[in-house]
Each structure stands twice: as structure tokens, then as C-alpha cells.
Amino acid sequence: MAELEIKLNRPSITYPLKIKKGLLGHLAEEIQAVHKGRKLVVVTDDNVAHYYGSQVEANLQAAGYDFEMIVLTPGESSKSIDHLPELYGRLVRFGISRSDLIIALGGGVIGDLAGFLAASFLRGIKLIQVPTTLLAQVDSSVGGKVAVDLKEGKNLVGAFYHPHCVLIDLNVLETLSDKAFSDGMAEVIKYGCIRDRAFFDKVKGAGNRAGLMADIESVLERCCAIKQEVVEADEKDTGQRMLLNYGHTLGHAIEAYYHYERYTHGEGVAIGMLAINQLAEDQGLSPQGSTQEIYQVVKNFGLPTALERPEDYAGILPLIKNDKKNLNGQLHIITLKAIGQAEIRQVPDHFFDPLLEGGSSND
């Protein structure tokens, strides 16, 4: 088992992150290690409930917990702010108090939504993250960012709210579809791009899902360790933590333009990484040849490498103004000095203009 301890500048916030096969079968035991109460709510979705709902229920019942399962429709639409009143109402009717617990059992959508519920209900109750997708395991469950979506954009209403622990069960990856696995690979590739050339080469060498799964524990541990390093240095996303958003400026705009229906988060990030890196390379801001190298890894793991309809950039680019990295009226993006070394760069509005002219195609 791999275990990390997340420590923030505020001494009261320290929590474990555990990576191990079979953790779901010992969920009650892990809860008891960080929470003494007996009442809790599990927030999940239909897909996760289908595979793991009965196991989790049996485990909690055997331990004597008083609990309720809130099972939502899978997908980004469940993260809309419009759903919050109903969810708050369910917590009230079940009698959740500040001494109780919310467990986020699912992918990034569930983690963000359940995390925001925990952060905002009764001004904050305990939270445990149990991510069940590769994307959530390496990214969204770590670092304390929780949020819901507005129709104007993704994650525009949120908070920094850290869990009491993160439990990563490697076994759940076996039930992921190839599409869902690829979705998470965008973030795995991102970590190598921004922080660790040797890790990038390791992922590149794995070549595909089977190759990566052969050493998946060390892959997840390295991803989480990179995020740990960045979050501990910059909890509130005002400096170094922005590096984690490589590819996300464009990726989030792509997701929002298609109403979160055409491209998954990882697919948007993959397209965003390649498009921005090519633009930066063309303008002398990133090394020549770096885009092609990233392109090959992205392609090997089944992710899209370019927008299917480049003409849609005319509608996508205006959405970038809503991006959280748009500070003091200036757009900031993440570029690569080299693969494994990223930087925050302020760019003019016309930086993305070549996309409107059919530039930066990676197909």
C-alpha cells in the first residue's frame, strides 16, 4: 500500500491519502480511523452504485452505521447548481448535523458535488473522498477544490475544502471502460508535462492501458505526490498551483461550449494541451518538437488530438474570458519551457487567434 500525508500551511489541515487494492471492502474501518460519528451520507451515481453499491451498503450496515445513499444520474449535468436545493433538502430530512459525515463515492463530478455539499451545508461538515475513476484518483480528489457549474461555465461556484482522508482502491479501475480510462490519462500525461520528464517517459513507454496497469500503483502515487507538492506550496491557486491547469484554459471552454455533452473533461484537456502547446511552439514560447512528442502519447492512450469541428473555435474562444486564470483582466496560460517544466505566462487576447484561422491542427 502507498500512503501520502497531505499537509498544508494551516496546521489543522493534515489528512492521509491511501492507495491500495480492496479498500472499499474495508470502508467502515477506514472511516473509523478518522471519524467517530455513526451517521453519514454516501453520494454516488448510478454507474458506481451498480458495481459497488451493494458492497458499500453491506460494509456500512455490518459496522452499524446509520446512513443514506444518494444516487445521482452520471455526468456533468448532475453538477449543476440547480440541483443543490434538492440535495440540501435530503440532508435536512435525513437529519445530518455538523458532527456527521459525507462520503463522495464516484468520479470527478461526484467528488466536486459532494465536496461542495460538505463545504457549504451547515457551514461545513466532514468529508471523505473515495474516487472511483482514474481522473478523480489522480486529480480532483486531491487538493481540496470542490465546485458546481453554472450555465456560463464550469466550476464557477466553489470552495477550497479538504477531506478528512482520500481512499483510492486500485480494484475499481478494472471496471472502467476504455473511454473512462483514457479520460483520466489526460491528467496523468499532464503531470509528466508540467513537472517530471522521467515520469512522462515512463507513461510514454507504457504505451497503452495494459502497459500502464502493470505498474498502476506507482503511477498513481507519483501523480498524487506531484499534486501534493504543488498544493502544499500553493493551496489557494494563486501561483504555482495554476500549473496544474495546463490545457484546462481551452479544455474547460470546449466542455462548456458543447454543454458537457460532446467531450469529456479529459478529452477537452487533451485537445487543450496540444492546441496551446502548438500555439506556444509556433510563437517561440515552447520547444520545437514538444507538441509532436505529447501528441504521440495522447494518441496512444485513445484521446482526441484536435477539435472535430475547428470552425467551432469562433464560439469557444469567447468563453475563455470566464476562466479562473483570467486575473486582473489579463489572461494567463500554462506553457512548457520543456516537457517536465511548466510556467505561468500572461498572453494577449490575440494569442488564440490562429485557431480561428485553422492553425494549430494536430491531426
Pick one of 1.10.260.40, 3.40.50.1220, 3.10.20.30, 1.20.1090.10 as the CATH number of 178-356: 1.20.1090.10
- Rounded Cα gap, residues 305 and 308, in angstroms: 9
Sketch the domain layout of the chain as residue ranges. 2-175, 178-356
- Rounded Cα gap, residues 331 and 173, in angstroms: 36
Q: Are 263 and 254 in contact (CB under 8 A)?
A: yes
Q: Indicate the burial class of 73 (C-beta count within 10 angstroms; 0-12, 13-18, 19 or more).
A: exposed
- Rounded Cα gap, residues 30 and 178, in angstroms: 29
To the question of whether residue 39 is assigned a binding role by annotation, the answer is: no
pLDDT digits (tens, 9 = 90+) for 210-249: 999 999 999 999 999 999 888 888 766 667 888 999 999 9
pLDDT over 80 at 12, yes or no: no
To the question of whether residue 145 is assigned a binding role by annotation, the answer is: yes
Q: Long-range contact list for 83-88, CB < 8 A, 24+ apart? A: 83/113, 83/148, 84/116, 84/117, 84/148, 87/43, 87/113, 87/117, 88/117, 88/121
Instruction: Look up residue 152 and give its DSSP letter.
Output: T
Which has more confidence, 98 or 261? 98
pLDDT over 70 at 108, yes or no: yes
- Rounded Cα gap, residues 116 and 80, in angstroms: 11
To the question of whether residue 109 is assigned a binding role by annotation, the answer is: yes
To the question of whether residue 204 is assigned a binding role by annotation, the answer is: no
- Rounded Cα gap, residues 194 and 187, in angstroms: 11
Q: Are 6 and 142 in contact (CB under 8 A)?
A: yes
Give 322's contacts (C-beta < 8 A, 6+ positions apart): 152, 153, 156, 253, 256
Cell 463530478 maps to which residue? 109
To the question of whether residue 111 is assigned a binding role by annotation, the answer is: yes
To the question of whether residue 187 is assigned a binding role by annotation, the answer is: yes
To the question of whether residue 215 is assigned a binding role by annotation, the answer is: no
What's the pTM value of the predicted model, to 2 decimals?
Answer: 0.90
Residue type, 354: P
pLDDT band, residue 203 (cuts 50/70/90): very high
State mean pLDDT over 314-343. Answer: 84
pLDDT over 80 at 314, yes or no: yes
Pick one of 3.40.50.12780, 3.40.50.1970, 2.130.10.10, 3.10.20.70 as the CATH number of 2-175: 3.40.50.1970
Distances (CA, A) of 345 to 169, 194, 335: 37, 13, 7
Instruction: Look up residue 238 and give its DSSP letter.
Output: S
Provide Rg for the chain, Cα atoms. 20
To the question of whether residue 154 is assigned a binding role by annotation, the answer is: yes
Q: Are 272 and 249 in contact (CB under 8 A)?
A: yes
To the question of whether residue 265 is assigned a binding role by annotation, the answer is: yes
Q: Are 5 and 16 in contact (CB under 8 A)?
A: yes
Three-state DSSP class for residue 80: strand
State mean pLDDT over 49-75. Answer: 96
pLDDT band, residue 5 (cuts 50/70/90): confident
